[in-house]
Structure 1
Amino acid sequence: MLYTRRVQFYDTDAQGIVHHSNYFRYFEEARGELLRGIGLPYSSIRERGYEVVLLEACCNFKKPLFYDEVVDIELLLEGVDRFTFSFVYRVSVEGELRAEGKTKHCMVKDGKIVSIPREVREKLASETKV
């Protein structure tokens, strides 16, 4: 999946570049759009009593992003098993790779990690894998 957004002024720091913490917000935006696109918006997951929890996150910064640049975030499912699912992210501007990231998630119900519901696993597995 490809998610596109424009860098806003509030995303930048005193040096005029996107603050490193915002990359994780961008990842979350892209992930939310992917889930919405496969019929699993966060709202419907939460209505069923589940929460999607972040277990791990990392980002390898290659080159800064700047105000007003149009950023493409390629999001690919790396894997899904009974308890976790992972994504990789490739952040680019006009085809130039600026950052790469990864997140790993689980689902929680009533405060406990649970097996990912079959419907969620199947919909995630239908996505293009790395």
Structure 2
Amino acid sequence: MSTYPGYLRSPHYYETDQMGIVHHSNYIRWFEEARVQLLNYLGCSYKEIEEAGIIIPVLDVSCTYKEMIRFGDDIRIAISIQSYTGTRLTFDYTIHPENSEKVLTTGTSSHCFLSAETQRLIRLKKTHPQIHQIFEEYYEQTRGE
């Protein structure tokens, strides 16, 4: 499997403040959009995960703003799996201009896997080995990039 090329996006006008700068709260939404697209790319969509009886709550999220992003900017959100244990998953995000490696924003989000029915932590390797394999293989493939 090839590495996910990143999520392309242009800020919407409503996401900006009076100066045309993207409001800080939108970056967390963008991270979620990038996560959803990465899972689709991996062939394991949020919908399929939820239909399998798994929920993936956010445990922690962070965002570091290095440079402003403005209305009209085209951006690429690079997303990778920072760590994966089978019960927990952490993503790294780096936002760049679409055609540059200049870093505009960085962030992380940490998640766990819960049974939708019991709301208890599950080990994907035991309960959903096919989903575990997707995360494990992609994590191993992209580690160190």
TM-score, length-scaled by structure 1: 0.93
Matched position secondary structure for 1:125? helix
Aligned-partner Cα distance in 2 for 1:29–1:121: 21
Pairing partner for 1:22 from 20, 26, 31: 26
Pairing partner for 1:97 from 79, 103, 107: 103
Say whether the 8 Å CA contact 1:81–1:121 is kept in structure 2: no
Which protein is richer in strand relative to its size?
Answer: 1
Q: Equivalent pairs: percent with the same residue?
A: 28
Superimposed CA distance per residue, residues 36-56 of structure 1 (whole angstroms, 9 cap, x where no aligned partner) = 111111111111111111111
Deviation of the 1:84 alpha carbon:
0.2
Aligned-partner Cα distance in 2 for 1:85–1:59: 17
Aligned pair 1:44/2:48, yes or no?
yes
Report the counterpart of residue 129 of structure 1 in structure 2. Answer: 143
Report the counterpart of residue 123 of structure 2 in structure 1. Answer: 115
Structure 2 letter corresponding to 1:129: R
Aligned-partner Cα distance in 1 for 2:123–2:49: 14
Structure 1: segments with no counterpart, 5+ residues:
none
Deviation of the 1:101 alpha carbon:
0.4
Say whether the 8 Å CA contact 1:88–1:100 is kept in structure 2: yes
TM-score, length-scaled by structure 2: 0.84
Say whether the 8 Å CA contact 1:35–1:41 is kept in structure 2: yes
Structure 2: segments with no counterpart, 5+ residues:
none
Superimposed CA distance per residue, residues 47-97 of structure 1 (whole angstroms, 9 cap, x where no aligned partner) = 111111111100110011000110111111111103101110110114221
Structure 1 letter corresponding to 2:129: R
**How well do the aligned residues superpose, as a CA RMSD in angstroms?**
1.3
Pairing partner for 2:62 from 58, 62, 78: 58
Aligned-partner Cα distance in 1 for 2:136–2:25: 29
Aligned-partner Cα distance in 2 for 1:80–1:59: 20
